[in-house]
Each structure stands twice: as structure tokens, then as C-alpha cells.
């Protein structure tokens, strides 16, 4: 803690927070992408009745389930870390951009 920056948190805390946020972002994006691929593959299966597209849609649905589980775990850890380590920052931005947090809450936990 000798090398603590002037603006507050130590560099280690900033790195851990950044890695957690970026991992959650990557998992959420991958989840949405695999859902889109599964929908397209299922549409192609309905149009062609090819077993290849049926198996592809099933594979992407399993992969999206895995991404959802891992992303939800990362999201919980990131939210816990943001609230405990960056409570002043969260209270400050909470007044301005609270809507995306509520949308994510209702989209995945309702």
C-alpha cells in the first residue's frame, strides 16, 4: 500500500474490479450472441428439416446456458465488489444511470 494513488483505491483493487466487470461483460455478450445463433439455427432447421441445424441449435442452447450461469456468478461478484469497494462511486452514479441496473435486474431475475 506504499504505492497508493492519490485518487483513492489501491491499484490492486482497481485491477480486480476491472477484470470482474470485463469478465461479466464478456459473459453477457457471449450469452446474447449464442442465443441469437441458436434462434437462427432453429429457424434454419424449421425451414430445411436438416438434422445438422437441429443439433446446432441444441448445442448453442447448451452453450448459452453455461454462459448464463457463469455470467450470473460473475455479475453477483462484481455487484458485491462494486457496492462494498466503490460505495461512494455507486451512490453517485446510481442517481444518474439507475435504469440499466433495474433493466438487468428485471430481465434476468424476474
Q: How far from 79 is each of 22, 30, 35, 86, CA to CA, in Å?
A: 13, 19, 24, 10
Please tell me the total count of domains within the chain. 1
53, part of any domain: yes
pLDDT at residue 55 greater than cutoff 70: yes
Res 51: pLDDT = 96
Mean pLDDT of the chain: 83
3, part of any domain: no
107, part of any domain: no
Q: What range does the domain containing 61 cover?
A: 11-85
5, part of any domain: no
pTM of the model: 0.71
98, part of any domain: no
Res 98: pLDDT = 72
CB–CB of 41/56 below 8 Å?
yes
* Number of alpha carbons in the 13 Å side-chain half-sphere of residue 50: 10
Q: Which residue has the higher pLDDT, 18 or 62?
A: 62
Amino acid at each position: 500500500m506504499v504505492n497508493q494513488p492519490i485518487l483513492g483505491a489501491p491499484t490492486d483493487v482497481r485491477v480486480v474490479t476491472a477484470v470482474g466487470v470485463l469478465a461479466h461483460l464478456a459473459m453477457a455478450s457471449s450469452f446474447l450472441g449464442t442465443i441469437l445463433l441458436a434462434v437462427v439455427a432453429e429457424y434454419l432447421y424449421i425451414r430445411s428439416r436438416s438434422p445438422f441445424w437441429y443439433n446446432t441449435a441444441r448445442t448453442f442452447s447448451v452453450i448459452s446456458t453455461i454462459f448464463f450461469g457463469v455470467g450470473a456468478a460473475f455479475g453477483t461478484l462484481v455487484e458485491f465488489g462494486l457496492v462494498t469497494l466503490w460505495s461512494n462511486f455507486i451512490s453517485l452514479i446510481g442517481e444518474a444511470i439507475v435504469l440499466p441496473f433495474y433493466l438487468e435486474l428485471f430481465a434476468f431475475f424476474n
